[in-house]
Structure 1
């Protein structure tokens, strides 16, 4: 039975993907085989020797020590697209707040609610909150993944012109992107054209502080910047300077920071992007389902550090192993199996950057001696043997017959 450590509150619909006869789930597991979390900041000390996988119920994995997990052969999963609709709807709300004086008008009403001549006063002052319409304006979408593409489609429906920039766009994302979105060849080109800019990129070494003083100098005067990606991809000091100089008219962010709190042209939300029941359910269900598939069958989908690797089971005996991506490792493993007259009936080998992952189905059981020799190979990081319940029953029968 696999031990799964949970952090944060995981939606019941997600836990239901992990049957209790196969998975022992709880928040106080000793040396777990897997970790299922949301926003908990995972440390390397919490990644014990038995750990096989970490599943993050959300798209970002900056709260997981991914590099250290990769070194240990631990697969890290995320759930891209599971919360896309929730974030998209909030971004649309932010765009409307950025052009219509909604938040400022509501605050004014609250401040004067006790006045006797409230109606007359509001009628006289409402011109202070006059805004502009989104229709006909240009939206720049930085990051064209599941959320960015969805925001772009809705903006087109609202009558906006949409330009997008994503140097790392995947083939699947490119297919999802509406054809009316104009692809920009550079971030600078997008910033010079957009009236509104929305960010949908992960926090990576290459994106931290991406919108800095240099880049914000390309803005059209009076542009609105919306950030529901990660706080660290924007240089707050540069944003405040752009606001004070009029290059930005408003900054709306889901990531409050002390240096932003007092500026009247900044609207801050308490990280509400994926805070809907539907998004929490979708993320939990996807994370748990991917985790169960990996633990039971070794298949990998939506990992941030290992390649997509899937193989339908052809026998009752499955070997998986992760290794450093160097030549000759698979051949060495096959040679060891051949020494024991074990035949491989089906297999798949995939690599991603410096790591490789392999699934091999064999026509017979594997012994501890075989597994120890494979694990002892210099480039092999982690080995697993995954016989089915039927195969394990057959092995037990053979053992009992031999000792009778």
Structure 2
């Protein structure tokens, strides 16, 4: 039986894909896989038995990715599973930034008397707003979410400019040709009425938008952050808004310094908080984990390369190693020296580490165990696993 441990509530539509005949959930402290959402995972909580960790969400800041990589633990996320939920929240926030809808709703609730309709008509001018049509939106980061925001904002009648020097080919095909492409991020800052950021949190994106970038923006610009809190320098935002150098800020990340300000809207991290997004993320996380455990195939990993190969042989050996010269030759030689034929083989590297799948035409488990032992003794090999083929289509 494969052992899986979960943290947080993972949608049952995903967990039910782990068949009871093959998987035990939270039965012991030596799992092969961990599935979680927001739980901040400490290194001490990750047993040596763990092969992979899957987050039902996009960001992996709650997982010690670097130490996992060093230990040969594959970390997965679920890009795109919650994209529609975040996109809808961004569009809603754009609309709310130009129409004081919440203030109007709260005001009406305080009315009393038999002439409420007349009172509302007489005072509704205080809640007059603007329209998004014809305004210019800058989208920083054109991944799954950013591309959807850009396309739908254009359909709302906005002029849209996107910036992403690393946009993938698949995403490029999905973006409307009417979305302008900025050659430099400064074009977004200097020309747009609204700016929304959708990039992952990395060392180079920490405080991507700070005092210098805000100074480039129009005084009438409104900034939105539904990516990660640390991407925007909150102290710089506060200073700019208090000096009337920025019209407004909407964020999905609570910070006590941003509260009780009439031009700052703080949401309680609602981006992916829809039943549909949680279900989609759980399904993708479980499917990715299950495929890796049963076949060794890696998809949507944040720390190891994507590696996929049809599984037709009796056994498959998977190898995680440091990405050094002649490692593939050493793996092949060890298998050949044991008089085992290699049916198929694939190797991919990603920065300092590499991953290899080797399908072998061999059913003698003693011979296979001998090969695995020799591989594990080889310098720079971190983890070796043997998978017996199951008749399961993927």
* Separation of aligned partners in 2, 1:74 and 1:372: 19
In the other structure, the counterpart of 2:368 is 367
Aligned residues: 388
* Separation of aligned partners in 2, 1:331 and 1:382: 17
- Does structure 2 retain, via aligned residues, the 8 Å contact 1:333–1:374? yes
Worse overlay, 360-369 or 320-329: 360-369
In the other structure, the counterpart of 2:233 is 235
**Aligned equivalent of 1:348, options 346, 349, 353:** 346
Structure 1 SS opposite 2:95: helix
1:264-275 aligned at under 5 Å gives the runs 264-275=262-273
Q: In the TM superposition, what is the alpha-carbon distance from 1:369 to its structure 2 partner?
A: 2.1
In the other structure, the counterpart of 2:33 is 34
- Does structure 1 retain, via aligned residues, the 8 Å contact 2:312–2:389? no
1:128-172 superposed Cα distances (whole Å, 9 cap, x missing partner): 222111111111011100111001110111111100111222222
1:37-76 aligned at under 5 Å gives the runs 37-76=36-75
- Work out whether 1:311 is the aligned partner of 2:312: no
* Separation of aligned partners in 2, 1:253 and 1:193: 21
In the other structure, the counterpart of 2:21 is 21
* Separation of aligned partners in 2, 1:46 and 1:116: 62
Q: In the TM superposition, what is the alpha-carbon distance from 1:228 to its structure 2 partner?
A: 1.1
- Does structure 1 retain, via aligned residues, the 8 Å contact 2:311–2:389? no
* Separation of aligned partners in 1, 2:74 and 2:168: 21
Structure 1 SS opposite 2:189: helix
1:375-398 superposed Cα distances (whole Å, 9 cap, x missing partner): 1111111100012258xxxxxxxx
* Separation of aligned partners in 2, 1:234 and 1:9: 29
Q: In the TM superposition, what is the alpha-carbon distance from 1:34 to its structure 2 partner?
A: 0.6
1:201-212 aligned at under 5 Å gives the runs 201-212=199-210
1:193-204 aligned at under 5 Å gives the runs 193-204=191-202
Worse overlay, 17-26 or 39-48: 17-26
- Does structure 1 retain, via aligned residues, the 8 Å contact 2:223–2:249? yes
In the other structure, the counterpart of 2:385 is 384
- Does structure 2 retain, via aligned residues, the 8 Å contact 1:314–1:346? no
- Work out whether 1:10 is the aligned partner of 2:3: no
1:249-264 aligned at under 5 Å gives the runs 249-264=247-262
1:58-90 superposed Cα distances (whole Å, 9 cap, x missing partner): 111111111111101100001100111111111
Residue segments in structure 1 that go unaligned for 5+ positions in a row: 391-404
Calculate the TM-score normalised by the size of structure 2.
0.95
Structure 1 SS opposite 2:142: coil
Residue segments in structure 2 that go unaligned for 5+ positions in a row: none
* Separation of aligned partners in 2, 1:374 and 1:299: 20
In the other structure, the counterpart of 2:145 is 147
Q: In the TM superposition, what is the alpha-carbon distance from 1:230 to its structure 2 partner?
A: 1.1
1:286-305 aligned at under 5 Å gives the runs 286-305=284-303
- Does structure 1 retain, via aligned residues, the 8 Å contact 2:201–2:231? yes
Q: In the TM superposition, what is the alpha-carbon distance from 1:25 to its structure 2 partner?
A: 1.1
* Separation of aligned partners in 1, 2:268 and 2:282: 21
Q: In the TM superposition, what is the alpha-carbon distance from 1:121 to its structure 2 partner?
A: 4.2
Q: In the TM superposition, what is the alpha-carbon distance from 1:353 to its structure 2 partner?
A: 1.2
* Separation of aligned partners in 2, 1:48 and 1:136: 55
* Separation of aligned partners in 1, 2:103 and 2:217: 24
In the other structure, the counterpart of 1:90 is 89
In the other structure, the counterpart of 1:393 is none
* Separation of aligned partners in 1, 2:284 and 2:15: 10
* Separation of aligned partners in 2, 1:79 and 1:377: 33
- Does structure 1 retain, via aligned residues, the 8 Å contact 2:250–2:264? yes
Cα-Cα RMSD: 1.5
* Separation of aligned partners in 1, 2:112 and 2:80: 45
- Does structure 2 retain, via aligned residues, the 8 Å contact 1:307–1:352? yes
* Separation of aligned partners in 1, 2:142 and 2:23: 36
Q: In the TM superposition, what is the alpha-carbon distance from 1:119 to its structure 2 partner?
A: 4.1
- Does structure 2 retain, via aligned residues, the 8 Å contact 1:52–1:74? yes
Q: In the TM superposition, what is the alpha-carbon distance from 1:189 to its structure 2 partner?
A: 1.1
Change (3 A) 1:219 1:115: farther
- Does structure 2 retain, via aligned residues, the 8 Å contact 1:7–1:37? yes
- Does structure 2 retain, via aligned residues, the 8 Å contact 1:87–1:228? yes
In the other structure, the counterpart of 1:401 is none
* Separation of aligned partners in 1, 2:336 and 2:316: 15
